[in-house]
């Protein structure tokens, strides 16, 4: 069983590296789906390996990246349940994991300004590409929503909703997307 767990972890690391190297959106979306399935399988295999132990064989980095992947899939319910499954000791020990959840909590509460503020953190190399993809995905979804909801909107409101400090950046992206 341990060899199966090791094989799954190796496969997951390879897919994460492929995600980081990928440049087009379709490839990244496919990799996110593959990573989600693999992460779920890895979590279940780990639980089966040590069902009676209170410790996890999975790392804080695993759960942080898994949580970002779930947020990337826009499944906030799954993100909440994953957060509840993570051991309290891991949550207390890792500031980065808590910051990932700050993004999830803000998205759950539909507080986009707080979500974008939480995304502006000095992420580890493992999470940097995933969080950047989440930021882009969230901005694109927000721009789409704004374009459907408003016929006219102030640039300052667009900048706030899309997490930009400069109004010019928001205006430029909003024009490109819409």
pLDDT tens digits for range 84-132: 999 999 999 999 999 999 999 999 999 998 999 999 999 999 999 999 9
| CATH code where residue 153 lies | 1.25.40.990
DSSP state of 22: -
Pick the more confident residue, 168 or 4: 4
How far apart (Å, rounded) are the C-alpha atoms in residues 118 and 125? 17
> In terms of residue numbers, what domain contains 76?
2-177
- What number is the average pLDDT over the span 15-28? 93
Q: How many domains does the chain have?
A: 1
pLDDT of residue 78: 98
In angstroms, what CA-CA distances link 147 with 36, 116, 165? 30, 19, 20
> What percent of the chain has pLDDT above 70?
87
* Residue 64 binned pLDDT confidence (cut-offs 50, 70, 90): very high
How far apart (Å, rounded) are the C-alpha atoms in residues 161 and 147? 12
How far apart (Å, rounded) are the C-alpha atoms in residues 45 and 39? 10
């Amino acid at each position: 069983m341990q060899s199966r767990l090791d094989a799954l972890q190796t496969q997951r690391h390879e897919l994460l590296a492929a995600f980081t190297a990928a440049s087009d959106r379709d490839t990244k979306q496919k990799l996110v789906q593959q990573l989600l399935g693999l992460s779920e399988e890895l979590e279940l295999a780990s639980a089966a390996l040590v069902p009676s132990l209170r410790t996890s064989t999975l790392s804080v980095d695993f759960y942080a990246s898994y949580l970002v992947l779930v947020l990337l899939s826009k499944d906030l319910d799954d993100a909440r349940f994953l957060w509840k499954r993570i051991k309290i000791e891991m949550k207390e020990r890792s500031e980065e994991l808590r910051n990932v959840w700050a993004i999830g909590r803000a998205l759950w509460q539909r507080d986009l300004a707080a979500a974008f503020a939480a995304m502006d953190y000095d992420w580890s190399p493992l999470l940097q590409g995933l969080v950047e993809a989440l930021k882009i995905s969230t901005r694109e979804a927000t721009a789409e929503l704004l374009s459907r909801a408003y016929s006219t909107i102030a640039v300052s409101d667009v900048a706030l909703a899309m997490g930009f400090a400069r109004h010019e950046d928001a205006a430029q992206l909003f024009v490109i997307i819409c």
